[in-house]
Amino acid sequence: MGGAEAVHQDRAAAELTGTTIDALLRGAPRGLELRCRGWEQEGALRCLLNNLDPDVAEDARALVVYGGRGRAARSPEDLAAIVAALERLGPDETLVVQSGKAVAVLPTHPDAPRVLISTAMVVPAWSDEDSFRRLEDAGLTMYGQMTAAGWFYIGTQGILGFTYETFRAVAEAHFGGTLAGRRVLTAGLGGMGGAQGFAVTRSGGRALVVEVDPTRAERRRRESWVDLVAGYDEALTAHLDPGGPGTVALIGNAADVVPRLLGEGVHFDVVTDQTPAHDPLGAYVPRGFTAAEAAGADADDPNFRAAVYGSLTDHVEALLGYRRAGAVVFEYGNGIRAQAAAHGLEAAFEIPGFVSAYVRPIFARGVGPFRWICLSGDPADLRRSEDVVMEVVGTDSLRAWIELARERVPLQGLPARICWLGLGERDRVALALNELVRSGRCGPLALGRDHMDPASVASPTRETEAMRDGSDAVADWPVLSALLNAAQGASWVAIGNGGGVGVGRSIHSGMVVVADGSESAERKLRRVFRTDPALGVARYADAGYPEALAEAARHGVDIPP
Ligand code: NAD
């Protein structure tokens, strides 16, 4: 039976056996018993279902993991078919997933990836919001953010380290290293935005976060990311009280509230935003609409479109007003400047992007977000694996971060941890973790990273904004990164369009390797976690960053002259 034919059978089988969406949305299987034919396939299955665990996903029933409409699978039937294909996938086969749909199971070999995923890729001239939506409406593609379609989301924690590093860098650059006594205004308490208050308060400051959807704000309060949820007056009073709560959620629309605060002369030291402006017609809520009304609105309705773009430009106009009033203002990677600029507010780009302003020096050293998921579901595995990571990379900052995360970061879905590691660290950590699994003291682990790594993303208004050599929009790097990781045999490799900033505005790739303690895992880990960060160093060395050139020389990365 041909691969494509078998995949059709998977769909049919999933429908016939009555596999319902409910059965698949109970989170990932736990324990050490395999449902699949090997730990790589099992790892992919558990990470996919973990993405859709109702405790992890923003809207599991809609298959939305995070970031507006970032999905893990195209439809419930497609999800069931992917699960069925993973359950029967052999150790010498590869499942091919096209924008959230299983399209073939092909014979490969044990060292090849078990799954290859490409999401939302559209020929560049068709890669605009309206053309994409038409393809989506025709059932031909889906939007997958980064780790939603790449099956490696770990909840709000995933962005926490990054957000924490950013606010620390803001404190360093403008306020002598601390946000003590400083007040931060931002918006959006979604999957990513939820981490902002934590990062601000850990840096000594206090945050007022505008959120249009009361249920999202309540969710963050329940999860302890927010201390108080209130309307305009109560929230503002609590925020302005120096002894008040650290993170206050103000229920309202940012396009109303930010201009109002500016107009009333309320001072903030730092102003940013994490509303889903990357998807203006699908996720950003315009003024005058509730979140539910916006979700149900017709994206082609000229009144709705006018409300969206009017709100976005007024919102950015107010951010510019705060900048002129002396606040530190930056775009937090949601593409809001580009949206406003495309609708007449050219001054939007006076606001810097957070990567070019604060994160670039970290990327230029080839350092990026490394994460792992404990496939057994046992929190004790997380503790043991964290101990190993702290032993291998003994820096004070890593130890401080892990201790803080242990104490403050609630687990969502399978136990997972993120930290920032570079070349020479990731392979040592990966091999040590495989040894830990081999020793029998820890269940299998899935090791990987977000797509926002030095080489693995081209996003000219975010990760690659204002590159030293002007290579902001050059997207060969994420494609090369995906090819390299597939060649080195990562367990699964994903490539996508539009993560973070919207379709047509970024290309990115990610990978995961399952550490099950085997020799084969050791080979894969040794290869992938050496060359993946080495390509990051090469990307920044090619762009002329001295930090990257120094790293390349220090680690013997062969960069032809
Ligand atoms: P999300 O869709 O999970 O949450 C967005 C939140 O904003 C929701 O709670 C929504 O109700 C709220 N919202 C929408 N319109 C609003 C408005 N006008 N006023 C106030 N609140 C509004 O998205 P997310 O995963 O939290 O991501 C937020 C944005 O940040 C996205 O654009 C995403 O692409 C971007 N992002 C940034 C980073 C980063 O590193 N900073 C990383 C990934 C994604």
Highest mean pLDDT out of 45-49, 162-166, 402-406, 499-503: 45-49
How far is residue 95's CA from residue 85's CA, in Å, rounded to a whole number?
7
Q: Which of the residue ranges 18-32, 157-171, 321-335 has the most confident prediction, judged by mean pLDDT?
A: 321-335
The whole-number pLDDT of residue 10 equals 61
String of DSSP letters for 358-384: IIHHHHHTT-EEEEEEETT--HHHHHH
Q: How many other CB atoms are found less than 10 A from the CB of residue 545?
A: 23
Res. 316 pLDDT band, cuts 50 70 90: very high
Does ligand 1 have an atom closer than 6 angstroms to the CB of 11? no
- In this predicted structure, the answer to whether residue 38 has a pLDDT above a threshold of 90 is yes
Strand partners, 448: 371, 512
Ligand 1 center–CA 275 separation, angstroms: 4
Do the Cβ atoms of 471 and 464 come closer than 8 Å? yes
pLDDT at residue 219, as a whole number: 93
One-letter amino acid identity for 4? Answer: A
Instruction: Write the pLDDT tens digit of every residue in 342-357.
Output: 999 999 999 999 988 8
47 counts as catalytic: no
Whole-number Cα distances in Å, 13 to 17, 29, 37, 106, 372? 6, 20, 18, 19, 32
Cα–Cα distance measured from residue 384 to residue 286, given in angstroms and rounded to the nearest whole number: 46
Q: What pLDDT is recorded for position 31?
A: 98
In testing the pocket of ligand 1, which one of 212, 250, 273 has its CB within 8 Å of the most ligand atoms? 212
| pTM given for the model | 0.86
Per-residue confidence band for 139, with pLDDT thresholds at 50, 70 and 90: very high
Is the per-residue pLDDT at 2 higher than 50?
no
Q: How far apart are the first and last CA of the chain?
A: 50
Closest CA to 449 of 543, 533, 537, 557: 533
Q: How far is the CA of 67 from the centre of ligand 1 (A)?
A: 6
pLDDT score recorded for residue 16:
42
Q: How far are the Cα atoms of 80, 94, 167 from residue 109, in angstroms, in the given order?
A: 25, 8, 45
Is 90 exceeded by the pLDDT of residue 156? Answer: no
Query: How many CA atoms are closer than 13 Å to the CA of 404, on its beta-carbon side?
Result: 17
> Region 40-48: what's the mean pLDDT?
98
Residue tagged active-site, from 36, 47, 419, 442: 419
Q: Is the pLDDT of residue 178 over 80?
A: yes
Quick one: tokens of 184?
């931060």
146, 501 in Cβ contact below 8 A? Answer: no
Reported as type and span, the H/E element at residue 249 is strand 247-251
What tens digit of pLDDT does each residue of 240-254 get? 999 999 999 999 999
Q: What is the pLDDT of residue 1?
A: 42
**Is the confidence at residue 230, as pLDDT, over 50?**
yes
Mean pLDDT for the chain?
94
Q: CB within 8 A of 448, min separation 6: which ones? A: 152, 370, 371, 372, 490, 510, 511, 512, 513
Q: How far is the CA of 248 from the centre of ligand 1 (A)?
A: 17
Token pair of 28 as six digits: 């990932």
Task: Please state, in angstroms and rounded to a whole number, the distance separating the CA atoms of residues 521 and 21.
Answer: 32
Residue 235 binned pLDDT confidence (cut-offs 50, 70, 90) = very high
CA of 262 to the centre of ligand 1 (A): 21
Tokens of residue 503, six digits: 């379709």
Round the CA-based radius of gyration of the chain to a whole number and report it: 22
Maximum C-alpha span of the chain: 70
Atom of ligand 1 nearest to the CA of 278: 32
